[in-house]
């Protein structure tokens, strides 16, 4: 699972994720008025502001994982929770956390 998360992270960094797919997935999760502009701007600032996008995209590969709108420390943050105990997060570094985290659901991640 760590390899999957690392590979998807690299795909985001290289801007290899199809914009149309992100538009569709994110619109189902959180409708945005101008989704094309939202996705383009997100790609320019990765990982900042990409936690929701990255989580809904990553969830395709981990369909039993739950997308959590929670916190990283005091910051609002979205990540995946697998089996109610395992965090999968590829954007925590926007808050000085790890680039890729696959591990126990513990501080600083919160619901």
Domain residue ranges in the chain: 2-110
Q: How many Cβ atoms are within 10 Å of 11's Cβ, its own excluded?
A: 15
Average pLDDT for 70-81: 98
Average pLDDT for 5-22: 97
Q: Which pLDDT does position 103 carry in this prediction?
A: 98
Q: How many Cβ atoms are within 10 Å of 29's Cβ, its own excluded?
A: 17
Report which secondary-structure segment, H or E, holds 77. strand 75-82
Average pLDDT for 72-94: 98
Q: Which pLDDT does position 58 carry in this prediction?
A: 98
pTM of the complete model? 0.95
């Amino acid at each position: 699972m760590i390899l999957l998360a690392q590979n998807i992270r690299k795909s985001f960094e290289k801007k290899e994720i199809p914009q149309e797919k992100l538009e569709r997935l994110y619109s189902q999760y959180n409708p945005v008025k101008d989704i094309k502009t939202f996705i383009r701007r997100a790609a320019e600032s990765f990982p900042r502001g990409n936690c929701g996008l990255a989580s809904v995209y990553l969830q395709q590969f981990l369909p039993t994982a739950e997308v959590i709108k929670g916190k990283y420390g005091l910051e609002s943050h979205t990540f995946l929770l697998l089996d109610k105990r395992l965090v999968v997060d590829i954007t925590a570094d926007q808050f000085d956390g790890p680039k890729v985290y696959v591990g126990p659901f513990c501080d600083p991640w919160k619901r």
